[in-house]
A = this chain, B = another copy of it.
């Protein structure tokens, strides 16, 4: 027998379940700790996607319990639309099965692998089948399944299926059991925190071995579910065009208009003219040579970008800001959503934010928060195009130290929303290096970098000015004393001058020829809103600016003014009286104000 025949005997088909069982690290199941995080991530991704599709505010319950045998039971329950019983075995018991793979729109799940991979991991490591409960509406009963995956064929193996009563009117619950470790807890809470930042409409309740915590929703609005769109002509692959044409029963003219995004009558005609082709030909009859001409023409004609607003669901500048401000109490924070872009026919949007100071650590490299389609990316930071793009920006130009990544109390958030996020592996930890996306990230960060630079130089200018002012103010009293000695006059009050030099607000009450004058000088760069309480026997009647209210208590009259003073402006009131009593000023930090009550 020839050798080739010997070798042929070992050739065989490998099921995709066998493949991922052997290469489970590709799916994010490298270790028991990682396995726990990945399982929760996949289950929560599905729950959020399903609630979004159904327009329901997500209420997600996560329970992690240690079993007597030392392994962990992981439960995720949602109030989504549920899954019809016929589909449950396939959704959870077959890899590469799902509803979102063929749709051109943003969703967390894309591959139809995630949750069934978790089922595969559980049965591989603990041998325990998955338990799934799902109910599609109040009028139907819930269905409970226990199931596994037949690895050699990648088909579901249903061990039990029964109808049961269930507390939720609709929703899905999955329970898996495998070995893990509580050291996953920190990462897990971090994951939930970041997930709730970018999903402000979702509530997460979590019970870890007795302890419980809630991440409340801060928005009561379900973001609109992105709509599936047709592929865009730009960047479409030849093989896909060929397949679409072969399956079409239309003329080329209609084929272009019906099967592609942004192609109307006019654009179709332009494409056909470029290709030198008649629109009345049957699309399915086109030869490879014709299809190539058509493809070339589709790339050459000017076609508007895909309707990203319907198929994508960016978080938005405001929600990003409020999410990170709450968490880090920053001195500076700005966010940017870039205009939608396209790579290989897929729409995408880059959103980014930069924060500075506040509770961020002053030492070490910047804190980086990466998100893709509203899902936080926790692993493989170094391998991610987001990280590489951040490192590609010249941060020194924006006044930030840099050693690869920026260094200092800096936070950088980047969110990529796309109809097809190009991850570097099925575990969806890192975004692959796609020039179009990297360029958008860099541009967003450069815009933000310029804002940060403006903030930092303003802060620095302020600091320098303040240092100088402080130096000047330090010698003013000495100068005053010296000059007084020479001219033999009493030492003058220098506080008002100091206030001016230090760019503060100076409030002064003094007696001038039987009249009381209250004067506010705003030497700062911002308008100030102050409330003055002038308490003395004077009634304040006849004041050039009358008090907003006054009250007499046993001959002591409280006169109150509420005043807004613009920067570099003054406010004055003058009334007949003898002064005495006291002046109190409220509305601003004492350190930024000089109050001189010349009656005291």
Q: A residues bordering B, Cβ < 8 Å?
A: 2-5, 7-8, 10-16, 18-19, 21-23, 25-26, 30, 50, 53-54, 81-84, 86-87, 90-91, 94, 96-103, 111-112, 123-127, 136-137, 140, 151, 170, 237-240, 242-243, 288, 291-292, 380, 382-383, 404, 420, 422-426, 430, 432-434
Q: Could you say which of B12, B82, B96, B101 contacts A99, with CB atoms under 8 Å apart?
A: B12
A151–B4 Cα distance when bound, in Å, is 28
Q: Which of A8, A50, A124, A423 counts the most B-chain CB atoms under 10 A from its CB?
A: A8
A240 to B82, CA, bound (A): 32
Task: Write out the residue numbers on chain B whose beta carbons fall within 8 Å of the beta carbon of A13.
Answer: 90, 94, 96-97
CB-nearest residue of chain B to A170: B4
Inter-chain contact A14/B97, CB cutoff 8 Å: yes
**Chain B residues, Cβ within 8 Å of A433:** 30
Find out whether the CB atom of B239 lies under 8 angstroms from the CB atom of A21: yes
Residues of chain B with a CB closer than 8 A to A26's CB = 423-426
Nearest Cβ distance between residue A418 and chain B, in whole angstroms?
A: 13
Give every chain B residue within 8 A of A237 (Cβ-Cβ): 124-125
Q: Give the residues in chain B near A422, CB-CB below 8 Å.
A: 23, 25
11 A-B pairs besides A7-B53, A383-B430 with CB distance below 8 A are A4-B84, A8-B86, A10-B99, A12-B98, A13-B96, A18-B101, A19-B96, A23-B111, A124-B237, A124-B238, A151-B243
Q: Output the residue of A111, A151, A237 with the most chain B CB within 10 A.
A: A237
Q: Give CA–CA (A422, B54) in the complex, Å.
A: 40
Asked if B380 contacts A137 (CB within 8 A), the reply is: no
Q: Which of B5, B15, B86, B424 contacts A424 (CB 8 A)?
A: B424
Residue of B nearest to A126 (CB): B238
Contact among B10, B112, B136, B432 with A3 in the assembled complex (CB-CB below 8 Å) = B136
Whether A137 pairs with B12 at a CB distance below 8 angstroms is no
Shortest C-beta distance, A330 to chain B (Å), equals 29
Alpha-carbon distance A494/B66, docked complex (angstroms): 86
Contact of A25 among B82, B91, B432 (CB under 8 A): B432
Most buried by B among A3, A12, A140, A383: A3
Contact B19 A127 (CB under 8 A): no
CB-based contact A239/B424 at 8 Å: no
Q: Given A30-B432, A94-B13, A96-B13, decide whether A5 and B127 contact each other with a Cβ distance below 8 A.
A: no
Is A101 touching B4 in the complex (CB atoms < 8 A)?
A: no
Residues of B within 8 A of A123 (CB): 239
Q: CA of A206 to CA of B23 in the docked complex: distance in angstroms? A: 34
Residue from B83, B238, B430 in contact with A4 in the complex, judged by beta carbons closer than 8 Å:
B83
Of all chain B residues, which has the CB nearest A237?
B124
Among B87, B125, B136, B288, contact of A11 (Cβ-Cβ < 8 Å): B87
Contact partners of A238 in chain B: CB under 8 A: 124-127
Q: Are B7 and A99 in contact (CB under 8 A)?
A: yes
Is B424 touching A101 in the complex (CB atoms < 8 A)? Answer: no
Contact B111 A7, beta carbon cutoff 8 Å:
no
**Residue on B nearest A288 in the bound complex, by CB:** B127
